[in-house]
Structure 1
Amino acid sequence: MTVALMWEARASEGRGEDLLAWARAQELPREPLRRETFRAPQDRVLVLTWWDAPFDAELPELPEPDRELIARAVHRWRFESVAVG
């Protein structure tokens, strides 16, 4: 089964590039099948990782950045792949 983890944060005012650099520099204790990093308006950063694992498996995730770097707590979601198209 493929599980995708989503990690999304919004940077503090004017810190979008810093948050993006921070997220890209984070190493996980093991490598996912795939990892992508995105940015969006309002200085938001999204990191998606794909894993070959059961839905409820313990998987490494990016941590919370330092509070001065983010405008709110990180949002995290977990999804199970149901189709590849």
Structure 2
Amino acid sequence: MTVALMWEARAAEGRGDALLAWAKSRTLDGTPVRRETFRAPQDRVLVITWWDAAYDAELPELPEPTGDLVTRPVHRWRFESVERV
């Protein structure tokens, strides 16, 4: 089974590049099948990791950024793959 973990944060005013650099530099305890990092308007950063694992498996996730890098707590979601085209 493939599980995708999504991590999304919104940077504090003027800190978008710093948040993006922070997210890209974070390592995980384990190697996902795939990892992608995205950015969007309003200084949002999204990281998706794909894992060969059961849906409820304990998997490493990116932590909360420290200090004044974000405007709110990180949003996290877990998805199970149902189709690949």
Place the TM-score, normalised by the shorter chain, in its bin: over 0.9
Cα RMSD (Å) = 0.5
1:31 corresponding residue in structure 2:
31
Structure 1 unmatched ranges of 5 or more: none
1:79 corresponding residue in structure 2:
79
Q: Which runs of 4+ in 1 moved over 6 A?
A: none
1:48 corresponding residue in structure 2:
48
AA in 1 matched with 2:24: R
2:4 corresponding residue in structure 1:
4
Q: What secondary structure sits across from 1:18 in the alignment?
A: helix
Q: What secondary structure sits across from 2:68 in the alignment?
A: helix
C-alpha separation in 1, matches of 2:11 and 2:67: 10
Alpha-carbon displacement from aligned partner over 1:25-74 (angstroms, at most 9, x marks no partner): 00001110000000000000000000000000000000000140000000
TM normalised by structure 1 equals 0.99
Percent identity reads 73
Structure 2 unmatched ranges of 5 or more: none
TM normalised by structure 2 equals 0.99
C-alpha separation in 2, matches of 1:22 and 1:67: 12
C-alpha separation in 1, matches of 2:84 and 2:68: 39
For these two proteins, the number of residue pairs brought into alignment is 85
